[in-house]
Amino acid sequence: MLSVTILKHLEINKHVPAAKVIEKDIYVDNILSSFEKESDLLTYFTESRRLMSSACMNLRSWTSNSETLRSRAKKRECARYGRSC
């Protein structure tokens, strides 16, 4: 049921670039995405969290080889499980 809800939300928001990435990279309730440019990664971080938040879903447990992303995730307390961002 969760996967259907997520896919429906992504379909409704297909105009949002992050929705296309999530749809491509989702497996059950996990998302594993990769970006060549750090700027694209940071845009995705903000955009995807905003998108999923609009459905009352919290993207959390972020990790990356990007120090900037790890720092932003830590500041928003979404690098740790169970905390609302």
DSSP 3-state assignment of 77? coil
The pLDDT, as a whole number, for residue 28 is 82
Q: How far apart are CA 56 and CA 17, in angstroms?
A: 19
The secondary structure of the chain in percent helix, strand, coil, rounded to multiples of 5, reads 55, 5, 40
Mean pLDDT by 10 residues, the chain (85 residues): 88 96 91 96 97 93 93 84 47
The pLDDT, as a whole number, for residue 84 is 47
The pLDDT, as a whole number, for residue 83 is 45
Query: What does pTM read for this prediction?
Result: 0.85
DSSP 69: H
The pLDDT, as a whole number, for residue 82 is 46
